Amino acid sequence: MHIQNPNHALYAATNDALMGLPVRTKAPRVRAFSPKVRTGCITWYVAKCDEEKPTCRRCRESQVKCDGYAPVPVSQKKPASQKQTAAKKRAIKQTQEMVQHVASQSQPRFIIQGNRLNFDIDGGVYDRMFFHHFRAITIVDFVHVINPRDFWSQRVLPMCYNDPAVRNTVVALGAAHYLYLQKLQSSNSGDTNASMSHFECVAIQYYNNAIAELVKLNNGDKSTWDTQLKTLTCCLLFICLENILGRSEEGIRHIQAGARLLKNSDFSIAPQNLQQLMQEIATVLLHFFVDVAYLEEEHNIPNMVPYALPTTEIGDGLEPFSSLQEAKDTIWDLDVKMAYVGSGKPDSDEAPDPECCMLDVAPFIEPFKRWKIKFNNLISSQIDSPNVPIDVQRETVNLMLRRCMWDIMLLPEGKNSDEELAKLNHELVDLVELLYSIEASSIGRPIFVLEGDTIPALYFSGLFSEDPVFVQRITTLLRESPRREGLWDSRQTADKLSAEFRSLAACPSKNCSLKACPFYKRYIIYFTLTSSR
């Protein structure tokens, strides 16, 4: 039997009131409130007006001459360009609060010798906010990766206070990096997208301002060393900006322009302090070149080695490296030499011969063996050390990853080479996972570094693997660890790798073994050069 809820009052019909049951009564009708307005035509502003224009229907049906509508006061009209969406207003309102928060949290992490710097900057709200963002957040990722480490703090930042072109570029890069982080950490709601679009416009605006300042600077009466220094500094920042915006082709054009400017300038007659600065700029550009060298397209980029800082060669002894920095500098020497060995003939359309590639890498086998012994001796002394700083852990894992990639590149052909290669590939992915976990615990946000490192290494390891489980592991890792490394975006790379693996699975005739693939050695050479650690 159905039993109704005893707490629910029963409502009776007509005669139920006689039995003492509650009776539902209608509440008195109340007219909805609305403010009085007089938007109708002048003739019928007291009565109801349907507001049809230019003549209202009430006047037309009553055959009365319609006197039209009262003009809207000019003060109430707003041009469409001045109307702001709610999301844009909120973004602007929150900006001032962000400035104070970022400025209070961003204590100087470096000391600039011989410079008394005010760590604030003149300008509007966006100038201050995104300058602080670049100084406190963006630059942290830069100094962890690329040498010289103090270039961004001791060279670029002081120029922001005196040169409007560099300052506008730094603000644009800070805005682009802020936009990149917000896109990954925010929802996809309409308000959020409108706010992100607003900040992208801010970044582009400052980018255009910087270009205008450079044009004005280069249109002067004569070109000076100071002008070339500012132009090259902005060129580096433009490359970073284009990469973080995902416009890799534009970034490559800036690399080419910077390399041509270095080639066409005789810095031997420049002042000594400017020669040092130009060498540092050329070194950073050389790091960018290594990131481009392994792409399928050929790019005509002049040789920048003669203009960069001298590299540190590996000694003949087997004693441990004195520091992780020395290990990093010496492996960079091998990277630079291998970049020009692996690039082959830029004008040739023929695929490089794997056997020729083996002959090319032969001179690197003995130097790398010495480097490996010296590095292993160094880290073996640190294994038992308690309380290793997080930065040292990260640097050590980076170099272990470099060691693994060089092992893959120099792996000799033999009976068990396939099994050894699979083992090294799994070790590489293990090291990348360890690196990502260290960064997640210490940084806790998506990473943007200046050059390809872990992403291309994972991509090429998966590209030449026939194991679907291994490829799935790589794509999952790339999607769950959002980051951008130079030209490479982790999620886009995961999608590309998945699509190419499905294409090979659907057409087995295209799938070739590692030994038979003519481009394997070329790709292995290139992707091992993407990290300059």
HEC per residue, 139-185 = HHHHHCCCCCCCHHHHHHHHHCCCCHHHHHHHHHHHHHHHHHHHHHH
**Amino acid (one-letter) located at 95:** T
The torsion of the CA quartet 509, 513, 515, 520, rounded to 10 degrees, works out to: 90
**Amino acid (one-letter) located at 294:** Y
CA distance 213 to 407: 48
Confidence of residue 296 (pLDDT cuts 50, 70, 90): low
Segment among 199-203, 380-384, 401-405 with least mean pLDDT: 380-384
Peptide bond before 54: cis, by omega within 30 degrees of 0?
yes
- Provide the token pair at 114: 């011989």
451-480 pLDDT per residue, tens? 778 998 898 888 878 889 999 999 999 999
CA distance 413 to 295: 25
CA distance 197 to 296: 32
| Cβ pair 523, 405 in contact under 8 A | no
What pLDDT score was predicted for residue 384? 62
What pLDDT score was predicted for residue 91? 53
Averaged pLDDT score across all residues of the chain: 75
Angle at which helix 520-527 crosses helix 390-409, to 10 degrees, equals 160
CA distance 220 to 231: 13
**Residue length of the chain:** 533
327-358 pLDDT per residue, tens? 999 998 888 887 776 554 433 334 344 444 44
129-151 pLDDT per residue, tens? 899 899 888 888 876 655 667 78
